[in-house]
Amino acid sequence: MGTPTMDAGIQIEPQFGFSFEAIRAIAQEMERLGFSHLWTSDHFFLRPDEPETACLEAWTLLAALSQATARLRLGTLVSCQSYRPPALLAKMAAAVDVISGGRLEFGVGAGWKEVEYQAYGIPFPSAGERVGQLVDTLEIVRAMWTTERATYRGRHYSIADALCAPKPVQRPHPPILVGAMRPRMLRVVARYADAVNFQDFFLAPDQYAALMDRLREACGEIGRSYDAIRKTHCTYTILGRTRAEVDAAIDAATRRWTLTPEQREARLRGATVGTPDEVLARLHAYREVGVSRVIFLFPYQKELEMLRVMGEEVLPRLS
């Protein structure tokens, strides 16, 4: 398969304290500049010791954004399978797909943020059990979206004659993206996913390529076409029009990091950092290893500023 074309979007972390008005402004500016997709993480709060930090809930946020935008595809990166019963999650996602006119990207993962589970009274089983729960969730979601009455009996979750009307607009169903890193999760991707995200904002292109090799092996084990799975990457991104702007942005963003100088430099090497020409070269390197969808995570409250630089000076040269 040849080098893929690449489209671009943005991830928003509502847990950082965004207002809805701020996210709406970002989404509408994205449409003006020609970005293709907006993603939101699925969390309930940032830290227990910051009770005043706002955190909009992911699915109600996507529903609202669907009415504030006309073209952007809207997704979760990724929704935690544990936070809502699978049949309810399927129903909610179908509703977002309908009210957005078929623009949903359904991102889902096994879940990891134990402090949220504890705070909300959600059982937090072992990682292996959470992966098993995710498999049941994917089976239930697909059944809800594609059959008149869905029945499934799994090890962790079951449903009986569950209805989902209206069905999603997209056929056979909205694209399913699974967030994964470890071998068992890559096998889940190989079996169920239309797209993958490796859930690490600081993967250099060679590190990304190594994970792609593991995914290729997982696909080969079950006879699934590796090329049938879209490869996405969410990259922490610091961008400026000049080297002076980049250096100032790095200083401002990394001031909050509790890392040694060596750890800081290692993280920056895994990020997408630089002037428009440098960022474009980095994106071309990701594209060469198979990434067809890049998602930028900008430093909090720098989104609009960096979005405009990206949209004006990088996107026109990306495809």
* pLDDT, tens digit, 9 for 90 and up, residues 50-65: 999 999 999 999 999 9
Q: How far apart are CA 213 and CA 253, in angstroms?
A: 32
Q: Tokens representing 46? A: 């940032």
Give the dihedral sign, CA 252/255/261/267.
Answer: negative
Q: Tokens representing 235? A: 């990259």
- Identify whether the C-beta of residue 118 lies closer than 8 Å to the C-beta of residue 175: no
For the chain, the three-class secondary structure string (H helix, E strand, C coil) is CCCCCCEEEEEECHHHCCCHHHHHHHHHHHHHHCCCEEEECCCCCCCCCCCCCCCCCHHHHHHHHHHHCCCCEEEECCEECCCCCHHHHHHHHHHHHHHCCCCEEEEEECCCCHHHHHHCCCCCCCHHHHHHHHHHHHHHHHHHHHCCCEEEECCCCEEEEECCCCCCCCCCCCCEEEECCCHHHHHHHHHHCCEEECCCCCCCHHHHHHHHHHHHHHHHHHCCCHHHCEEEEEEEEEECCCHHHHHHHHHHHHCCCCCCHHHHHHHHHHCEEECHHHHHHHHHHHHHCCCCEEEEECCCCCHHHHHHHHHHHCHHHCC
Decide if pLDDT at 293 tops 60: yes
| pLDDT confidence bin for 226, thresholds 50/70/90 | very high
* pLDDT, tens digit, 9 for 90 and up, residues 166-224: 999 999 999 999 999 999 999 999 999 999 999 899 999 999 999 999 999 999 999 99
- Identify whether the C-beta of residue 225 lies closer than 8 Å to the C-beta of residue 219: yes
Residues spanned by the domain of 278 = 7-317
Give the CATH number, domain containing residue 292. 3.20.20.30
Confirm whether 1 is domain-assigned.
no
Confirm whether 85 is domain-assigned.
yes
Model pLDDT, residue 2:
64
Give the dihedral sign, CA 153/156/158/163.
Answer: negative
Own/partner pairs, 154-161, CB within 8 angstroms, 24+ separation = 156/129, 156/132, 157/85, 157/86, 157/133, 159/86, 159/87
- Identify whether the C-beta of residue 211 lies closer than 8 Å to the C-beta of residue 290: no
Q: What share of the chain in percent tops pLDDT 70?
A: 99
Model pLDDT, residue 3:
77
Number of domains making up the chain? 1
Q: Tokens representing 153? A: 């009996």
Model pLDDT, residue 4:
79
pTM of the model: 0.95
Confirm whether 217 is domain-assigned.
yes
Confirm whether 252 is domain-assigned.
yes
| pLDDT confidence bin for 258, thresholds 50/70/90 | confident
Residue at 294: amino acid letter: V
307 sits in the region (left: phi over 0; alpha: psi -120 to 50; else beta) called alpha
Confirm whether 2 is domain-assigned.
no
* pLDDT, tens digit, 9 for 90 and up, residues 19-37: 999 999 999 999 999 999 9
Mean pLDDT of 75-100: 98
Of 192, 168, 201, 194, the residue nearest 66 (C-alpha): 168
Per-residue buried b or exposed e for 213-231, using 16+ beta carbons within 10 Å of the residue's own CB: ebbeebbeeeebebeebbb
Decide if pLDDT at 1 tops 60: no
Confirm whether 20 is domain-assigned.
yes
